[in-house]
Amino acid sequence: MKIAVIGLGFVGLTLSSVLASKGITTVGIDLDKEKCSKIAKGTPTFFELDLKKTLKKALKKNLLITDKLSSINNCDFIFITVGTPQKKNGEIDLSFIKTVVRSVGKIILKNKKKPIVLIKSTVTPGTMKNVILPILEKNSKKKAGKDFGLISNPEFLQESKAIQDTIKPHVVVLGGYKTKFMKKTEKFFSRFNPNVPIIITNHQTAEMIKYANNSFLTTKISFINQIANICQAIPNTNIDDIAAAIGLDPRIGNMFLNAGPGYGGSCLSKDMNALINFSDNVGINPTLLNAVEKINQEQIQNIISLMEKTLGNLMNKQITILGTAFKPNTDDVRDSVSIALIKKLMKKKVKIVVYDPKAIKNTKNIFGEKIVYAKSVTDALDKSHCAIIMVYWKQFDSLNNNSIKYMNKKFIIDCRRVLAKKVLDAEYHAIGLGQKI
């Protein structure tokens, strides 16, 4: 068996590394030559737990990395994992996937094998049937379901758990017609991800499952953030105890109840905007989804208001941002809430100092010399008027009175309640904690 994976971002690189490390002949394809040459040398283009190790193992076994799309020739399965970003109005941008699918069609035209094309990229409902299938059939001059298979296979992996999620996802969703290709795909997944439930459905439902999944997660986060904001007005309340208690109700579940500065990252907001835009276009007013996004955006403003309440005008104040990645254990800053906060603070002419154990390089790519990059937490806090803990990096646990002793004003906003149990000689505010009395 031979498998191709087109698009070597988080999903594609992880998938091709895991497939090949399990002994399956795999070709990982990306049009970016520079990216390919790095990956081929065993260096992932982003930080992801255990990925380097898995990639190296894969390269020693059966992984070929190339920028030549023609390498999909004679593959049994062709996974498409290219990005589907958002346009300015929130609408999904299908240009990358359309280009790739057009080329795949042209290659299938000359192919003797009957490959199965699996779309992992997130696409709005109807895209498979109305856009991807017609492009593939037109360019290959072949019939889907007869000459090649076409299956929606949405991906649910989380960054920082990508390898683990690829080996054992919570579900495998296969959307499409119930053909021999679907049977072959089901058989493949039952071996690749043993004991994982497989849901077989049609294209549109599979596409919608991905949006339903992500928008439920954002709803949980905005829900707990709203409760956290209410808690802040009730002396002595603690959002973590509330989350722990309600999380024990099996109808609620304990995950995604960690209150904070709002959700970020390259997927959740993008998918929310795409779903909101899609709903509007089909005449459904997405009241709940709009509220979820609104609460998310307001979290940043709440942090700024808290700062202004204590510091007054923020102009020329030195503010320390601890954590710029969109979450811990990643160097990814795409759509990070910290980045959005820094942008807002820069407009107020604040002097920004940042520290992050992994994401400084990517943060520098955005802000260049406009902000200061500290080498340690203590350096970052030196002369600061306010420290904001945005991301829970494990090393922030060790922050204490000694670390903050050179702050200009000992004022901390702790969005992740990392220091909640410490006795600090500082004005301390935390998301979701009522003032201690």
Which residues are catalytic, by number? 267
The DSSP 8-state label assigned to residue 436 in this structure reads P
Instruction: Verify binding: residue 358, ligand UDX, rule CB under 6 A.
Output: no
Instruction: Verify binding: residue 393, ligand UDX, rule CB under 6 A.
Output: no
Q: How far apart are CA 412 and CA 414, in angstroms?
A: 6
Minimum separation from the CB atom of position 13 to ligand UDX (A): 14
| Binds ligand UDX (CB under 6 A): choice among 30, 48, 137, 159 | 159
Please name the residues in contact with 113: beta carbons below 8 A apart, sequence gap of 6 or more. Answer: 74, 75, 76
Minimum separation from the CB atom of position 15 to ligand UDX (A): 12
Mode of pairing for the β-strands spanning 318-322 and 386-389: parallel
Instruction: Verify binding: residue 7, ligand UDX, rule CB under 6 A.
Output: no
Which CB contacts under 8 angstroms, 24+ apart, belong to 275-279?
275/124, 275/211, 275/215, 276/90, 277/89, 277/90, 277/91, 277/92, 278/92, 278/124, 278/125, 278/211
CB 225 within 8 A of CB 260: yes
Minimum separation from the CB atom of position 408 to ligand UDX (A): 29
Instruction: Verify binding: residue 396, ligand UDX, rule CB under 6 A.
Output: no
Instruction: Verify binding: residue 258, ligand UDX, rule CB under 6 A.
Output: yes
Instruction: Verify binding: residue 256, ligand UDX, rule CB under 6 A.
Output: yes
Size of the site for ligand UDX (CB under 6 A): 19
Instruction: Verify binding: residue 257, ligand UDX, rule CB under 6 A.
Output: yes
Closer residue to ligand UDX in complex, CB, 36/151 = 151
Residue type, position 307, single letter: M
Q: How far apart are CA 262 and CA 254, in angstroms?
A: 17
Please name the residues in contact with 40: beta carbons below 8 A apart, sequence gap of 6 or more. Answer: 59, 65
Closer residue to ligand UDX in complex, CB, 18/267 = 267
CB-hemisphere CA count at 13 Å for 266? 17
Instruction: Verify binding: residue 263, ligand UDX, rule CB under 6 A.
Output: yes
Instruction: Verify binding: residue 164, ligand UDX, rule CB under 6 A.
Output: no
Site for ligand UDX in 317-346 (CB under 6 A): 326-327
Residue 322: φ, ψ to 5°: -100, 105
| Helices and strands in the chain, H and E counts | 15, 14
Q: Which two tokens stand for residue 387?
A: 């420290």
Instruction: Verify binding: residue 260, ligand UDX, rule CB under 6 A.
Output: yes
Residue type, position 422, single letter: K
Minimum separation from the CB atom of position 142 to ligand UDX (A): 31
Instruction: Verify binding: residue 217, ligand UDX, rule CB under 6 A.
Output: yes
Q: Which window, 12-20, 252-260, 280-288, 399-407, contacts ligand UDX (CB under 6 A)? A: 252-260
Instruction: Verify binding: residue 158, ligand UDX, rule CB under 6 A.
Output: yes
Helix, strand, coil abundance in the chain, percent, nearest 5: 45, 15, 40
Q: Which window, 228-236, 259-267, 274-282, 358-366, contacts ligand UDX (CB under 6 A)? A: 259-267
Closer residue to ligand UDX in complex, CB, 86/103 = 86
Instruction: Verify binding: residue 77, ligand UDX, rule CB under 6 A.
Output: no
Q: Which window, 30-38, 145-153, 214-222, 348-356, contacts ligand UDX (CB under 6 A)? A: 214-222
Instruction: Verify binding: residue 264, ligand UDX, rule CB under 6 A.
Output: yes
Minimum separation from the CB atom of position 407 to ligand UDX (A): 25
Minimum separation from the CB atom of position 267 to ligand UDX (A): 3
CB 392 within 8 A of CB 237: no
User: 3-state SS string over 298-342?
Assistant: HHHHHHHHHHHHHHCCCCCCEEEEECCCCCCCCCCCCCCHHHHHH
Residues that bind ligand UDX (CB under 6 A): 155-159, 214, 217, 221, 256-258, 260, 263-265, 267-268, 326-327
